[in-house]
Each structure stands twice: as C-alpha cells, then as structure tokens.
Structure 1
Amino acid sequence: MMKRFILASLAVVLLLAGMGYLVYYRGIYVDFKPEVSVTANFRTQGKEIQYLDGDTWKTMEIRGVDLSSNIPGEAMLDFVPTYEDYTRWLEQIGEMGANTIRVYTVMDADFYEALYDYNTTKEKSLYLLQGLSVPDRANYGAEDIYQEEFVDLLLENGIKAVDVIHGNRAIELGDFTGTGWYQWDVSPWTLGYLLGHEWDSGIIAYTNNSILGETSYQGTYFYTKPEATRFETAMAKLMDQVTAYESNKYKEQRLISFVNSPWDDPFAYDTLYNARFDTYNQADMEHIGASAELQSGYFASYRLETLCPDYQKYFTQAQRADLGELLTGLETGDLYSGYLTLLNRYHTVPVAAVGFGFSTARMPVVENHPPLNEQQQGEALVELGRKCEVPVGSGAMCPPGRMCGTEILGIQSMPITVWA
C-alpha cells in the first residue's frame, strides 16, 4: 500500500511539474472563458493615441526615452544592471519629464520588478513600449526573414513578452532576452509592442525578392492590402499572432507596430539617392489593415536618422506627383528638414518617432553640425526637444497622438548630469 502511495504521489508531482513547465516556460494555456470580451486601455483613434481614464478616452501625450540593458565595459546581452540600477534610472527618467520607456527586447526580471515598484509607489506612472527583437546574427544574415529561427524566434519572443508583462513567465535560457522568474504584472502600464529595432535593409530586400513566404495575409486582427510586400506580410502576420495570443490568453490588447527607418521608408527616390543612401526598399504600414476585432490599434514607428537636407529633390517624379500637397509648406529648417512632418502627413495612423540620437563621432556626419562630446550630445537632445516644431527629445511636449523618443538613455555613455 505504501509503495502505491509513493508511486501515486510521484506521478502527481511529475504531472504538476510538467504542467508548470508547459505553463510558465512554454506559455501553453487553455482558454476557459472564450465568452469574455477583450478589452484595451490604450487605442488609436485616427492619428491620436488615447488612454482610458475611467469611462472616458483621452488623448495621450507620450514623451519617451530608450533604456538599454548594459553598462560600461559589459556586453549588452549580459544584462548586468541590477534592481538597484533600474530603480535609480527610473527615478531619473521620471525627474527629467519623460513618461514612457522603450526597451529593445525582454529585459531581465529585475527591470520589471523595478518598473512595478516604481509605478505602484509614484503619483505619475512610467509607461512601457516593449520591443521584440532577434539576434544580430539573424537580422544581418545572408538569408531572408523566413529563414529558420527568424520569424519563429521573433514570434516566440513576442509570446514571451506578453507573458512577461503580465507577470506570468519563467525564462531560464533566453535567446536575445533576459532571464528570471517574471511575477510582476506591469500590463496596466504597457502601451504596446514594437517589432524589431533596426531592420537590416538586406534582410528586407532578400525577403521581398524571395520565392519563399506569403504574399498576402488575412488574420483575425490584421490583414495585408494588395500592394503589400513579403516583408510587410510577415510583419502583419506577426502583429496578428502576438495580438491573438494576448487577446485569447489575457483578454486584453495593446498597441503594436513594426519599427521602420528613413532607409526603408514608403517613398521612392531617384537612382542616385538610392545608391548613396542604400534606400532600395520600401516598407509601408499603410499596406497593413486592421479588422473590427482590433480594440486597441496600431501605428507607424520610425527610428530617425539625420538626412540629406535636400532629400525632397531626389523623390522620383511619380513620387512627387503622388505626394502632391503633402510637400507644401514643409519646414525644412529643422534637423530633419521636414521629414518627420511629412511622415505624419503621409500616414493615416499615428506616427511615432521611437529613436533618435546625435552622433558622438569625432568627424562631422551632417553638414554644418560639428561633432559633439557626450555631455554636448545630451544637452543637444534636450534642446532639440524644447525647440522642434515636431519634437523628438526627452522631456519634450509632443503634439497630440505623436510620440517623442530619443536614444539619450545610453547608460553606457551618458553623464549623469544630463538627468538634472
């Protein structure tokens, strides 16, 4: 009798351990309440980003900075910062006037614990844009996005991220992610997800010209329009799958986007410009549509760079004709020569500037802009945010529905005086 009891107990323990592994390490779940409606605390309405305040939707003003997972002398994916480091940085970010943090991948558990503790003890919250990325070995590889361990890995990390922000995940060996037991629910302060952080132009070109992969997609929440490329189709599918996972498992939705850049923007340029700036791809969020099932929303996001100040002259004749009045009255005296304003005019969804930084190279990288040391870089970012008509600086006051973002939170190089 005792032997049977021991064997039965062992079987129960093994069963519970197996179920725990599937739930907390693999994200397996059963939807026991399929009738429960999906909700969203953040949404897009036209070109506005809005948040739910009680029963009222209000326009959200977002002022953001990037937060990295490394410190001087350490590799980025070593995730060296501690809970105390993140706590100190969050305090400084709040003091400088930002209200949003962007991270590039699933951080280690200490970050989410620090964010939870900050937001449950402060009057003003810090919101999170959770990045979903793949290793550089994949992004800068010699194949397309449908190669083994690319799209699947991005989706896997997306599913991990959803569980992480809901405090319902354990990661022991992360591939381009942090590790730990994630038990802090930061979902009330998570705005949404960003696919990728710096898409390699070669990967986009390989994907668009490949015979592999889908040329269209029709999902529950997102679909592609007829003009969509293979790369855009992959983005639509990933956006749909991440949204579906959170909708089915947690009955919630968040904003979502894929990160673009000036080198892969929707515009067509002359051959000379293409050759000089490697602008041989076009990725366009306008080629992706959303169904009525999407309660939250989506937006176009761009990682900004300093541009050729005469970029408008290099639009193809057909592109110039298509843009028409959108080119009228652009303020070309700012650092972006009116580029960010043009993006906002072009898109029918909100536009987010999710990253920008001044170069600290010892040689000028932009005409009439001398090299800056690190303290000058930080001061220039703050000043840019105060002066720009379409600001992209920390602490800047953004127009409704627009997102400010900088890369000034490069902890590895930024002097602490910048936070004053």
Structure 2
Amino acid sequence: MRCKSLVLVWVAGALAWGAPSPLEGGWAAYRAGDLEGALAQAAPLLQGYDPSAEALLLAGFAHYRLGEMEEALFAFSRLVGTLQGGGEAVYGLGLVLRALGDLEGARTALDYAFRLGYAPAEEILRGLPPPPPPSPKRRLHPLGVPFRAERGRFWAEDRPLMVRGVNLGVALPGRFPAEFPEEETLYRAWLELLWAMGANAVRVYTLLPPAFYRALHGLNRTRPRPLYLFQGVWTELPEELGYPSYEGAFLEEFLLEGRDVLDALHGNLLRPKRPGHAGGAYTADVSPWTLGLLVGREFEPFSVARYNQAHPGRVYRGRFLEAMPEANPFEAWMAEVLDRLLTYEAEAYGTVRPMGFNNWPTLDPLHHPTESTAEEERALRRARGERVEGVPLRAYNEDEVSLDARNIRPLPGSPATVFANYHAYPYYPDFLNLDPGYGQAVGPFGRSNYFGYLLDLKRHHGEQPVLIGEYGVPSSRGLAHFQPQGFHHGGHSEEDQAEQNLRLWREIEAAGLAGGLLFSFLDEWFKRNWLFQEWEDRERDPLWHNLLDPEENYGLLAATAPRGPGWTEGGKSGKRFPSSSGGKGPSSRPGPTPSTYGSSTGAPCPSGSTWTPPRAGRRWRRASERSSSWRWGRKGGGSWWRRATTPSGRCAPGGRGRRPSPFSAPPGPAGAPSCPSSWSPTGGARGGTERTTPGRSTSWGP
C-alpha cells in the first residue's frame, strides 16, 4: 500500500510538473483569442499585493483588446508607475491613451517605448496625425475667478470641494529633490494611479519639468473628473542664497520665480535649465485645474523672529490684499508676495486663484503654555544636575513667533481669496501631546490630541478655509516621537501606516477643515531624521534606503533595495536563475527584446547587461547604488493605498540576454500583441524550455 501511494504521488507530481502554469494557460488563451479566458486565468495571479509584471501585462493587453480601456489603463499604469515591464508596458500605455483620444499622451508614450527598444511602437507612431500647432493664450475679460477659498471650503465655481490629495515629491532613489525625472509617461502613470486612488488633488513643491504639466493636462482632458493641482513656489532662506535679508534682491528673485511658475501654469514659459531648477518649453495650459498656489517653505522660527526684529512697523496694502493692523512684519512681507503674484496673473492672464503659504505648528498663531523655550529647557536641565554647556538642543523654539494667514485679508470688493495651510503631523511638536485640552478632545475614533489641535485651528481661523497641507505617519522601523493614541513618528507596519493615515484623514474631515494632502507619494531616500543625521554623509544619503529613518518611509509608493544573492531563506542560499531580456521576466511579444528599467531613473539596462529576475520571495543585489525595487498597493475600499513587500530584479553586468523566438501569430487589432513568444533559456533546472520565474511587480490590493 505504501509503495502504491508513493507511485501515485510520483505520478501526480510528474503530471503537475508538466502542467502549464496559470500564467502560461492565460497566454495560451490570449494566443487563441479567448480573452475572457485569459483574464480568468490571470485573475488569481492579480490578487493580493504582489502580482507579477507578466500577469499585469497579460491583463492589460487582454482588457485593451476587449475594449475595456479603464482596466487596461490601470494595469499599464501600475507597471509604468513602478518602473516595471520595460518598453512593452510603456507601449501598452500608449495604445490605451490613443484609444482614449489622448493622441499627444500616446505619442509621448510610444516614443518612449521605442527609445526603450520596443520596435512595434514605431509603426503606431507613424500612424498618428501630426501634433496641432500651439494656440495663443487669450486673456479673460472680465477677470476670471475659477476657484475660491471662502466659507471654510474651496469652491470650484459654485460647487464646494473637499480636498483629498497627495503630496508629490519626485526624488527617485539615488536622486536629490531637484534632480527631476524627465519622462512624461512616468508622470502620467503616477497621476493615473493617484486618480484611480480617489484623490482629487496633487501638490508639487516647486516648478517641475514641462513633462509633468503635459501629463496632468493629458489626464484632465480625458478623465471624467479632474485632478486639481496645488502648485508650490519654493524658496531657500536668504542667508543660504547669499542675501542679507528677505528684502531687496531676495524678494525680487522670489517674485521672479513666482511669475515663472504662473507663466508655466498657463503654458507660456520658455526658460533654460539651471542647477536646482527645472526648465524647458512649458506649453501645456493647466491653469483651469490649478486650485491654488502654496508659496514659500516651512519657515524656521529664528528666521521669522530675526525679520520681525529688523523691520518693525512694516505694513502692506496692495491691489488685492492687505496686511491687517495687527499683522507682524513678516506677515506683511508675505501679504506683499501674495498680492504681487495675484497682480501679475490678473494683468497677464486675466484670472486670479486662491493663495496660501506654507506654515506649520511651530509658527501657528495659537498659544501653547506647555511648550518650553530653549532657555527654559536649559534651566530645567541645569536644575537636574545635567551638563548643558556645549550640548546643542535639536529643536526650535516651537512657540516663539507666529505666522497667521488670518492677518492677510482681501481688500473690499477684491476677487482674491486666502486660505490657511499647515503641515500638521500628530506627534510634533511636543505641545500636541502635552496640552491637557487636546487630550480631552473626542474625535470619530475616541480621544485624540490631534483632533483637539485641528479643532483649535478651526476655531482660530473661523470662516477662513484651513488646509492640512501635509499629514501622515511613516512605516520606518525607527521611532522618532511617541504619540498618546499611537500616531507615532515611525514604528508602524505598512498595514498600520495605512490604517493610521485613514484615521487622520477622517479626523481632518470631522474637524470641518477644507481638506488634506497626504504626505507622501514616494519614499524619499534623500531625507534625514535627527536620530541619524550625525552619522550620515549628506552627499551619499540618497544612494541608500535607511529603513530605520522615519523621514525616508512616508510613501504610498515604497522603494526598497533588494537583498544580495548571498541572502538565505530557511537556511538555503539563494540560487541564480537564468537571464531573460524583458523587464518583466521571461516572455516578450512582437518586436525586439524590450529594454528594462535598470535603475530608479527609468533608463534601460546598459549595453551588455541582462535582467535577472529573482525567485519568488527573494531579492537580489542591486547592480548599482541607484537601483531599487518599487512596490505599490492600496488600502481601504478603493480610497487608499498601502505598500507590500516584493522582490525585485536587477541589471546584472556582463551576460547576454536571450533572444525571443519567432512569434506564433500576428499582432492583434490596433497594435495589441496576439501572443507571447516561447522562451528557451539555458541552464534551467529542468533544461529545455523551462520558463524563468517572472520578475515581481508592485501591486494593487483587493
């Protein structure tokens, strides 16, 4: 009986060994024209947070050939937005954009696919009509006011708009924040993912390359609801730029940057690139979807206090705005900046829009008796017998000076509106956790210090809309600040991070604020936290991912470095798998072997390199310090994302990629591939026609 059992087990194993995988079965159905069957085979592979890029490609092309463009766009955006799938995924995205009527977006994507080595894109490109000539910008008469910020809300014409947005920093791994990606198709995929998430706004901190604005323009022209933009006008501190104060040359340089930003938003700017600044030809008019400007930075309290001391009695009254009599000098300076930008847009383009500036609890207009000054802190420590001389305090005076948007008001009859904006996190500064009144506040989920603080802001500003321009918690292993209700500055799993972010959003909504912008879209490797900054080389910090650092782990989209080939799992050392030449693993469809993303920049693998996919559950060593693995997911019924751990592939220097075999069927309608090629790598465990394990992609959760 035991022998018979062993024989049966052996026979069953042999049959299973030779049976096609669901992915192979799906491609076989696709090849036979059974697109519904192909999707049925792919469905189990798309569950959870880690579907393979090959399964997403199958689903994307099957949906495309069925005419299900929304589903196809989503599948290809997941691939392109996470730097997976190589030229083939970009090609698929281009086909879908063409079908949706966005010919310029399609042209850009297909050109990118061709540059990545995907030859079929060339034929489709040739069939596109030439781009239309640029049309001159017409000034509005009378003054156009597409958006307003009043009565506690943003308004699009006469409709109230609750802002549900995400902050988009674009520093890829290995890059500093001003080293911008230049590919329009990458921006388009990111924006499509944000749109599918349910976001209605995206915020950028500075002027990005023209590619971003073309991508936003293309999305909003083809989507049933818009993705609004909060555009930043960034500045450094005067002393960092070599200026003695905020006045004079610094002010005029800041306003010049603001005017460039406004010209770019109206598709009317040509400026050269220079270090730290984007440049190029800005021809996409995104002003119809620009909900507001956010000017400046989180100004340091010492800088504001120094300005107030140097300019006592400063006042301002302009064309649209004025500083109220109780405004401090820096608030009057900010009123001038906002008013002069409003005046420029009104005179140049016949429109105005809501204006705000970046602020944070450190400069809020509230009084916080539980917050000690640096001098008080040193006195307390001396009384405890501690040595304080020569020991720096790693904190500002968090309640020393204020910057109050309520002290900047429109003149009577002015169409301009001003909103308050705070980067408010639940764990910092300490007064959020120490104030006894905040601790008694009861929000949608029970007691919440954060909810108490939000209510305090709302009470102060009254009818002036309050936007929480940054909020969120990071999924780092390290923990930089504790918070009474568990909203810690780090120490969260990715699942907990998603739940906490959703809870923070519900509290913003329940407090009656105008909305919030979640921080952030990407993990940012260049960031530094006070726990580690003394031991990190600032110039090399972007080249590696510190999992302990909270500042590097806020993203909805995670970027993690794969492990090296010596990493073991269950006591067994990793095994190298055969090379393939596609960025998604083993198969490719019509045309030459597509190039793959060999680094975070989206560049193809260098000449003489191959893409080595990892075995499921394992991650291989990076080929360079800039290489990374992107992963994507969502959390909360289609409204929020979370991230999921995935393996990644790498560009391995040296070897030669395998050439795909001839295709067994011609391309499908409208350029969609009809079938995958067969794959015959050498050195497989079973030899012959073994298919390698596909490279793993990021995922979209159930």
TM over 0.5: yes
Higher alpha-carbon Rg: 2
Q: CA deviation at 1:46?
A: 2.2
The answer to whether the aligner puts 1:340 opposite 2:454 as a matched pair is yes
1:352 matched residue in structure 2: 467
1:312 to 401, 417, 435: 435
1:113-192 equivalences under 5 Å are: 113-135=214-236, 138=239, 144-146=245-247, 148-149=249-250, 151-174=251-274, 176-192=276-292
2:491 to 372, 395, 407: 372
With over 3 angstroms needed to count, the CA separation of the structure-2 counterparts of 1:77 and 1:90, relative to structure 1, is same
Percent identical residues = 25
User: Structure 1 counterpart of 2:402, which letter?
Assistant: Q
Tell me how far 1:104 sits from its aligned partner.
0.4
Closer/same/farther in 2, CA of residues 142 and 163 from structure 1, 3 Å limit: closer
**Cα distance between partner residues in 2 of 1:239 and 1:333:** 38
Distance in 2, matches of 1:113 and 1:187, equals 12
Deviations 1:264-311 (A, max 9, x none): 100233385333662211111121111134324111110112243444
C-alpha distance 143-312 of structure 1, shift in aligned 2 (>3 A):
farther
RMSD, matched Cα? 3.0
Give 1:401 shift.
6.2
Question: Residues of 2 paired with 1:119 and 1:99: CA distance?
Answer: 11
Structure 1 pair 89–377 and aligned structure 2 pair: CA distance change class (3 A) = farther
Shift of 1:367: 3.7
Corresponding residue number in structure 2 for 1:320:
none
Deviation per CA, 1:205-239: give whole Å up to 9, x if none: 11111148x71001010101111111101110000
Aligned residue for 2:508? 390
Q: What secondary structure is seen at the aligned counterpart in 2 of 1:50?
A: strand
Q: Distance in 2 between matches of 1:138 and 1:63?
A: 36
Report the 3-state secondary structure (helix = DSSP H, G, I; strand = E; otherwise coil) of the residue aligned with 1:354. strand
Structure 2 residue aligned with 1:273: 372
Offset of 1:58 from its aligned partner? 1.5
Q: How does 1:14-33 map to 2 (within 5 A)?
A: none
**What pairs up with 1:278-293 in 2 under 5 angstroms?**
278-279=397-398, 280-293=400-413
| Kept after mapping to 2: 8 A contact 1:83/1:111 | yes
Question: Using a 3 Å threshold, how does the CA distance of structure 1 residues 381 and 248 change in structure 2: closer, same or farther?
Answer: farther
Bigger mean CA deviation after superposition, 121-130 or 196-205: 196-205
Contact 1:144 1:210 in 2 (8 A): no
Normalized against structure 2, the TM-score is what? 0.48
Shift of 1:379: 1.4
Deviation of 1:417 (Å): 1.8
Kept after mapping to 1: 8 A contact 2:167/2:470: yes
> Could you tell me which residue of structure 2 aligns to residue 73 of structure 1?
174
Q: Which amino acid aligns with 1:365?
A: H
8 Å contact from structure 1 (residues 70, 81) kept in 2: no
Deviates most, 277-286 or 243-252: 277-286
Q: Distance in 1 between matches of 2:290 and 2:472?
A: 24
CA distance in 2, matches of 1:161, 1:377: 38
Q: Distance in 1 between matches of 2:278 and 2:419?
A: 26
Counterpart residue identity of residue 468, structure 2? A
Question: Which has the larger strand fraction?
Answer: 1
Alpha-carbon contact 1:139-1:203 (below 8 Å) kept: no
* Aligned mate of 1:363, from 479, 501, 504: 479
Do structure 1's residue 229 and structure 2's residue 229 form an aligned pair? no
Question: What 5-or-longer segments of structure 1 have no aligned partner?
Answer: 1-31, 316-326, 392-397
Alignment-mate amino acid for residue 230 of structure 1: P
Deviates more, 1:108-117 or 1:335-344: 335-344
Q: Does 1:63 align with 2:164?
A: yes
Provide closer, same or farther for how the CA distance between residues 234 and 83 of structure 1 changes in structure 2, counting only shifts above 3 A. Answer: same
The secondary structure found in structure 1 opposite 2:447 is coil
One-letter amino acid of the structure 2 residue matched with residue 417 of structure 1: G
What SS does the aligned partner of 2:213 have?
Answer: helix
**Preserved contact between residue 405 and residue 418 of structure 2 (Cα < 8 Å):** no
Map of 2:86 onto structure 1: none
Aligned to 1:301: 421
Larger relative contact order (C-alpha < 8 A, sep ≥ 6)?
Answer: 1
Query: Paired residue for 2:688?
Result: none
Of 346, 355, 370 in structure 2, the residue corresponding to residue 256 of structure 1 is 355
Contact 1:341 1:390 in 2 (8 A): no
Is 1:46 aligned to 2:151, yes or no? yes
Distance 1:148 1:377 in 2: 47
Amino acid at match of 1:49: F
Relative to 1, partners in 2 of residues 1:293 and 1:163: Cα closer, same or farther, differing over 3 Å?
A: farther
Give 3-state SS (helix, strand or coil) of 1:125's partner. Answer: coil
State the secondary structure of the residue aligned to 2:191: helix
Q: Distance in 2 between matches of 1:194 and 1:38?
A: 21
CA distance 1:58–1:400, change in 2 (3 Å): farther
Contact in 2 for aligned 1:86/1:110 (Cα 8 Å): yes
2:520 is matched with which residue? Answer: 408
Verify: 1:220 aligned to 2:339, yes or no: no
Residue 241 of structure 1 is matched in structure 2 by 340
Once residues 338 and 49 of structure 1 are traced to their aligned partners in structure 2, the CA distance between those partners, rounded to angstroms, is 23
Residue identity in the other structure for 2:415 = Q
> Cα–Cα, structure 1 residues 293 and 381, in superposed 2: closer, same or farther, change >3 Å?
farther
AA matched with 1:194: L
Secondary structure of 1:98's partner?
coil
Structure 1 residues 299 and 206: CA distance shift in structure 2, 3 A: same
**Alpha-carbon separation, structure 1, partners of 2:189 and 2:232:** 22
Report if the CA contact (8 A) 1:105-1:130 is conserved: yes
- Listed one character per residue, the Cα deviations across residues 140-192 of structure 1 (whole Å, up to 9, x for unaligned) are 9895423743x222211110111111000012135643111000000110011
Deviation of the 1:377 alpha carbon: 6.6
Aligned residue type for 1:164: A
The code of the aligned residue for 2:518 comes to T
Residue 382 of structure 1 and its aligned partner are, at CA, apart by: 4.0
1:295-347 per-residue CA deviation (whole Å, 9 max, x = no partner) reads 241111101122434443599xxxxxxxxxxx996658225151112101110
Shift of 1:101: 0.5
* Distance in 2 separating the partners of 1:58 and 1:400: 17
Contact 2:370–2:434 (CA<8 Å) still a contact in 1?
Answer: no
Letter matched to residue 405 of structure 1: L
